[in-house]
């Protein structure tokens, strides 16, 4: 069972249904002290409804920028983003960030209720929905605790409970587990899959970890080093429900991880070289002054 590698830049038609998210020719340039930085260059992609879509790429390649554009927090310099089937009675998206994104002054329950409270949902509905996700994330006993009383893993569980309770159209996650230790990371990946399998919401999940991408994703987009472009799409053939630990013992898992690593290796090297070149250029500019 080999991974399906699709060459750069094309948007392969996996199904004939209308994509949930369509990104067409998206570029993003930032101006930093009179110099232009191209973060994203002509990115095309299509995400099917209910797909667990993972974006993997070297640090600084524009992953967060792309996610912020999908969330509507940033406008592309060129190109367009389409979200289909959005409804008025639920938010378009919920975002889970890398670091702590829960409110330190609110209890676990209030944090998890936040999106629903903002939308003025009835108290009984909020209680039922939040109870369900606190149970799913193992936080029932900690409902009245404050974030500083929790471990890093538990705080990310609160973020997950809040995101799912909010019942968004699309879930956007930016390296949510990257600050956790290996055991907590694996546990949370498994828990995330179990909760997601109940709802099958469209997910866009960003990571720099190839293992995490293959463990979680239906489809992976591999990005080039900056400026971020599409290097390849990889379809992950593993069935659902999945167990992260079981998956990692399979030979096919190793093959796909290896395939993606090969794609990324050149990019990581290019990204390291670019940082070195930038440091040298900055030093030269200082000397000239
Ligand atoms: N608001 C901004 N202003 C200027 N440059 C930015 C801004 N946001 C991101 N960048 C630059 O764009 C590039 C991509 O950043 P980012 O999307 O955060 O990468 P990643 O998430 O893949 O590590 C980086 O060079 C970064 O410095
Ligand atoms: Mg980032």
Nearest CA residue ID for atom 18, ligand 1: 64
- For 185, the enclosing helix (H) or strand (E) is helix 182-199
Nearest CA, atom 17, ligand 1: 62
In this prediction the pTM is 0.89
Ligand 1, atom 4: closest residue by C-alpha: 30
Q: State the pLDDT at residue 16.
A: 57
Residues with CB in 5 Å of ion ligand 2: 63-64
Q: If you measure from the C-alpha of residue 107 to the centroid of ligand 1, how many angstroms do you get, rounded to a whole number? A: 32
The number of beta carbons lying within 10 Å of the beta carbon of residue 123 is 10
- The 10s digit of each residue's pLDDT in 266-286 is 888 877 887 888 888 888 888
Ligand 1 and 37: CB distance under 6 A: yes
Contact 188, 180 (CB under 8 A): yes
Return d(Cα 83, Cα 114) in angstroms, integer: 24
Q: Which two tokens stand for residue 194?
A: 């179990």
Q: Residue 289 Cα, ligand 1 centroid: separation in angstroms?
A: 27
C-alpha 245: how far from chain center? 21
pLDDT of residue 7: 38
Per-residue pLDDT of the chain (289 residues; tens, 9 = 90+): 444 444 344 444 455 578 999 999 999 999 988 899 999 999 999 999 999 999 999 989 999 999 999 999 999 999 999 998 777 777 788 888 877 789 999 999 999 999 999 999 999 999 999 999 999 999 999 999 999 999 999 999 999 999 999 999 899 999 999 988 999 999 999 999 999 999 999 999 999 999 999 999 999 999 999 899 999 999 999 999 999 999 999 999 999 999 999 999 888 887 788 788 888 888 888 887 6
């Amino acid at each position: 069972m080999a991974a399906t590698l699709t060459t750069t830049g094309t948007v392969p038609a996996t199904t004939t249904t209308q994509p949930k998210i369509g990104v067409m020719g998206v570029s993003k340039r930032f101006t930093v002290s009179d110099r232009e930085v191209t973060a994203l260059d002509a990115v095309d992609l299509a995400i099917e409804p209910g797909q667990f879509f993972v974006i993997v790429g070297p640090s600084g390649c524009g992953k967060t920028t792309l996610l912020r554009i999908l969330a509507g927090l940033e406008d592309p310099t060129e190109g367009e983003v389409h979200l289909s089937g959005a409804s008025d009675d639920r938010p378009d998206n919920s975002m889970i960030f890398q670091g702590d994104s829960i409110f330190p002054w609110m209890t676990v329950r209030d944090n998890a209720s936040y999106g629903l409270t903002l939308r003025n949902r009835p108290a009984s509905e909020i209680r039922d929905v939040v109870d369900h996700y606190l149970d799913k994330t193992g936080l029932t006993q900690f409902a009245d605790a404050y974030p500083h009383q929790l471990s890093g893993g538990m705080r990310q569980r609160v973020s997950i409970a809040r995101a799912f309770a909010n019942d968004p159209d699309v879930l956007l996650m930016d390296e949510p587990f990257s600050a956790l230790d290996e055991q907590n990371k694996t546990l949370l990946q498994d828990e995330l899959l179990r909760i997601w399998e109940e709802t099958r919401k469209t997910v866009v999940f960003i990571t720099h970890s190839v293992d995490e991408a293959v463990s979680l994703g239906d489809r992976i987009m591999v990005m080039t080093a900056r400026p971020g472009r599409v290097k390849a799409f990889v379809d992950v053939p593993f069935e659902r429900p999945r167990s992260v630990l079981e998956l990692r013992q399979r030979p096919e898992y190793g093959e796909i991880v290896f395939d993606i690593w090969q794609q990324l290796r050149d990019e990581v090297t290019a990204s390291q070289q670019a940082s070195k070149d930038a440091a040298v250029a900055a030093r030269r500019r200082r000397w000239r002054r």
